[in-house]
Amino acid sequence: MSTLTGNVFMISKMMNFTTHIRHAHHKCKILVIGGGCGGCTMAAKLSKNFGEAPNHVIVLEPSEDHYYQPLFTLVGGGIKPLEASRRPMKDVLPQKAQWIKDRVTFFRPNNNEVTTSRGDTIQYEVMIVAMGLELYWDQIPGLLEGLSNPDAQICSIYGSNTVSQVYDKIRKTNNGTAVFTFPNTPVKCPGAPQKIAYLAEDYWSREKKRDSIDIVYNTSLPVIFGVKKYADALWNICKQRNIQVNVRKNLIEIRPNHKEAVFQDLDNPDQTKTVKYSLLHVTPPMGVPETLKTQRDLTNAAGFLDIDPKTLQHNKFKNVYGLGDCTSTPNSKTMAAIASQSHVLYKNILDDLANKKMRMVYDGYASCPLVTGYGKCILAEFNYELKPKETFPVNQGREMYFTYLLKEYFFPFLYWNFMLRGNWNGPEIFRKVFSIIKKKDPLYEAAK
């Protein structure tokens, strides 16, 4: 079997031909499902250890393109072109790993095997699941219709195929009510639905249109942000800039022809309210891809990959691990979280393969650069307990230009050049260095 796999690997490497092989059987040491942020990062780390077939790394990923999604907010704000967030998948996946351009359709964790949509089977010693979240555009009646109409004032920074229309629609808005939504599901980057509202508000202020436009942020959540320190700062910003925030309001229907959006009051589910809008920015409901969700032995009741929140190892199948948005860990679903998770996972997998006790623990670290306008950002960093875990020796609960510069320039640089090459483990090292300064600076404690 391994000879066949070796040949398949060699031929596919030589001819870059993997997509055309049907019903092949592959065997590998590490199988990574998904070549997005988490999958690509783990493949890069582990392919440094495991190189030659059959003891190699396979990445199963159907997309031609890889997106740095955190940039979508800035694309929506007209700051970056969509192209800056996109690279061909073949250029970002590690050279030493084998890319199979296909999707998983069935998991057989008892046999350490998956099946792909072309009928290939892949056998693994260790499997890492990093399938991200799917966007459920069709769950809101009227949304797909509205998005496909260039004249309808409906937009979303969440899709790679919808984000480039956002800035145009913001620019076209001259009056009326601009409504921004947050759905009743877990979302990737829970700060993004309000970041785009702040950018739009700033744009309309600069264009002297602000007085003619009412801004409403309707969120399904009971709070504006999960961490009190940053929530307090954001409430103040909304108050100062006259952005109306309504909590527990869930978008359930859009009537694009009448420019009407219907919201359900989640505390009184029988009550709905119809709002007339001049711009509607929608964060769609999202969830785990169907293939994973329906695999009951791998997932929890909500359909997320059921892993230990500390070790990131599957709770039932000990050679299955997960990271990123598709897992059950209760952290904020961000790329920043994945950077920390990838370090823990890498070490734990190597320990486990060497029959050692796993030593690394993920503490739920996540970060959210809350862009509050052009050149302004609150850099939220926190852990599972929703306690701030800040890196820099300043109070990060304030809007700052330097954290905005990190978001616009430094983080994308870090992502393409270090994280996707397996060389970025999160800001822990900087935090340690800066903690020495923090301890020595009496003004820091006073400013916190």
Ligand X SMILES: Cc1cc2nc3c(=O)[nH]c(=O)nc-3n(C[C@H](O)[C@H](O)[C@H](O)COP(=O)(O)OP(=O)(O)OC[C@H]3O[C@@H](n4cnc5c(N)ncnc54)[C@H](O)[C@@H]3O)c2cc1C
**Residues 6+ positions from 273 with CB-CB distance below 8 Å:** 249, 262, 263, 265
> Looking at beta carbons only, is 91 or 267 nearer to ligand X?
91
At 36, list the tokens. Answer: 């997005």
Options 9, 50, 72, 382; binder of ligand X; rule CB under 6 A:
72
**Residues 6+ positions from 91 with CB-CB distance below 8 Å:** none
Q: Are 261 and 275 in contact (CB under 8 A)?
A: yes
Shortest-Cβ-distance residue relative to ligand X: 36
Minimum Å gap between C-beta 334 and ligand X is 3
Minimum Å gap between C-beta 55 and ligand X is 22
Is 238 an annotated catalytic residue? no
- CA separation for the pair 156, 175 (Å, rounded): 19
Print the binding letters for residues 113-152 with ligand X: x by CB under 6 A, - otherwise: -----------------xxx--------------------
Q: Are 353 and 126 in contact (CB under 8 A)?
A: yes
**What value, to the nearest 5°, has the Cα angle with vertex 162 and ends 327 and 135?**
25
Size, binding site for ligand X by CB under 6 A: 38
Q: Are 382 and 398 in contact (CB under 8 A)?
A: no
Print the binding letters for residues 7-36 with ligand X: x by CB under 6 A, - otherwise: --------------------------xxxx
Catalytic option among 155, 189, 238, 326: 189
Q: 25-33 and 57-60: which strand pairing? A: parallel
> Looking at beta carbons only, is 27 or 188 nearer to ligand X?
188
Q: Which residue has 């796999």 as its token pair?
A: 5
Stretch that binds ligand X, among 66-74, 243-251, 271-279, 383-391 (CB under 6 A): 66-74
Options 324, 373, 426, 427; binder of ligand X; rule CB under 6 A:
324
The DSSP line for 366-434 is: EEEEEEEETTEEEEEEE-TT--B---SSS-TTS-BHHHHHIIIIIHHHHHHHTGGGT----THHHHHHH
Options 44, 189, 221, 234; binder of ligand X; rule CB under 6 A:
189
Is 326 an annotated catalytic residue? no
Binding site for ligand X (CB under 6 A): 33-39, 60-63, 69-70, 72-73, 103-104, 130-132, 157-158, 188-189, 192, 289, 291, 324-326, 333-336, 338, 367-369
Name the residues annotated as catalytic.
Answer: 189, 368
